[in-house]
Amino acid sequence: MLSPLRVGVAGLGTVGTSVLRRLDGQSGALRQRTGRDIVVTAVAARSRDKDRDLDLTPFQWFDDPVAMARSSQIDLFVELMGGSEGEAKRAVQAALESGKPVVTANKALLAHHGMALARLAEANHAALAFEASVAGGIPIVKTLREGLAGNQVESVQGILNGTCNYILTRMEEEGLGFAQCLDEAQRLGYAEADPSFDVDGFDTAHKLAILATLAFGVALDISSLHVEGIRGITPADLSAAHELGYRIKLLGIARRSENRIDGRVHPTMVPKSSALAQVGGVTNAVTIYADAVRELTLIGPGAGGEATASAVVADIADIARGVRSAPLGMPVDELEPTRVMPVREHEGGYYIRLNVRDTPGAVARIATRMAERGISFESIVQKQAPRRGGESGTVPVVLITHRTHESALGAALDAVTIDGYIADKPQVMRIESR
């Protein structure tokens, strides 16, 4: 049997402590599957005194994770601290420079510095594994990097943030407002005290950048992705979607578009018949379209200590076996430079909700403005709002367009706004037909 693999774990929050428990509880099975013992010998965290309901006395304690990454007491560095800069980045760099393999769950670090870290790993013949960085317990990284190596991937899209999916599910099922559902998500621990990273779409964007690089073999700049969050979604939108045969999901979408990538994060209307529409609560799901397998959807827990620890331990087991894949699926120097298609060039169907002033000819004038830019409608739903005090109010009007360009739609809505027939900013969502 090979000598034990000595592991150092930096970060002892929910995921880090779950990893320690799983490595201990599965030690026998891991020995049988990898042919060697996997032993945690060192740990690092911000506070030594925090109550973690875990005996840390068997491990060497490091106050400095960078020092642990360089230590001769470990063979493998596991980074679970989080953050794209600071100690997490320095410690991962130190481990790779020392020729040590690294396992991380840090999506932000990879989204911002993945190319540089992969190049450093290649130069030092060290593994860089990050299955846990996207979609928790779903093995999406291995699926794209290894399982679909014989396919040309056309697109990858998914529900990549459990907090947003939970909020949208509650809003749809119970008719609640965004703020109330967010409060409940925070109470249950699904959302942070500052939920901006989740609900404004940035968490999904980090994960999408990683998936797009793996799916298409491209060097993708995360700052070029179009990102929208879910704060503006209302119960009225969810109700209208339901009536029209759709559900609203926050999706990360990356698709080949000639010599560019169509990459975007935004609330999306998806048909109820689609696999992604069936996924509720905090669950994640990713759908891949490729030439050989056609459509493949993976569904599972996208967050939480146990689910994420499962992915971390799977990477540790691969390294114990001696498995070392190119971190990004191919050498960094072979990744193709790419441009992300501006969202104004997107072409597809759109959902539009307008609060139209209740005056004669308003809806007809709006339709004329749309027609002037070549926009036609699949459906128009108008619900008469009650008048108050005998005065005209506004009428909710929902439009579903046929396929059109976003730039044309934007110009038409600008004209409608200038005409003064609508009372509020239009609500617009893109529709994904598959």
What is the set of active-site residues? Answer: 207
Q: Please state at what angle helix 86-97 crosses helix 107-123, rounded to 10 degrees.
A: 20
Spatial distance between the Cα atoms of 173 and 185, rounded to a whole number of angstroms: 15
Q: Which residue has the tokens 């969502």?
A: 429
Contact 341, 257 (CB under 8 A): yes
Q: Do the strands 5-10 and 38-44 form a parallel or antiparallel pair, or are they unpaired?
A: parallel
Maximum distance among all Cα pairs of the chain, rounded to whole angstroms: 87
d(CA 120, CA 35): 28
Contact 16, 65 (CB under 8 A): no
Bridge-based pairing state of the strands 347-357 and 128-129: unpaired
Q: How many CB atoms lie within 10 A of CB 105?
A: 26
Nearest to 399 by CA among 357, 354, 356: 354
Residues near 63 by beta carbon (within 8 Å), at least 6 away in sequence: 44, 48
Q: Quick count: other Cβ atoms within 10 Å of Cβ 192?
A: 13
Share of the chain residues as helix, strand and coil, in percent rounded to the nearest 5: 40, 25, 35
Pairing mode, if any, of strands 294-301 and 377-382?
A: unpaired
Q: Determine whether 332 is exposed, middle or buried from the number of CB atoms within 10 Å of its CB (0-12, 13-18, 19+).
A: buried
C-alpha dihedral, 81 to 82 to 86 to 88, nearest 10° = 50
Report DSSP state, residue 391.
B
Q: How far apart are CA 313 and CA 310, in angstroms?
A: 5
Q: Is 305 exposed, middle or buried (0-12, 13-18, 19+ CB in 10 A)?
A: middle
Distance CA 51, CA 189 (A): 19
**Contact (CB, 8 A) for 121 and 149:** no
Contact of 66 with 87, CB cutoff 8 Å: yes
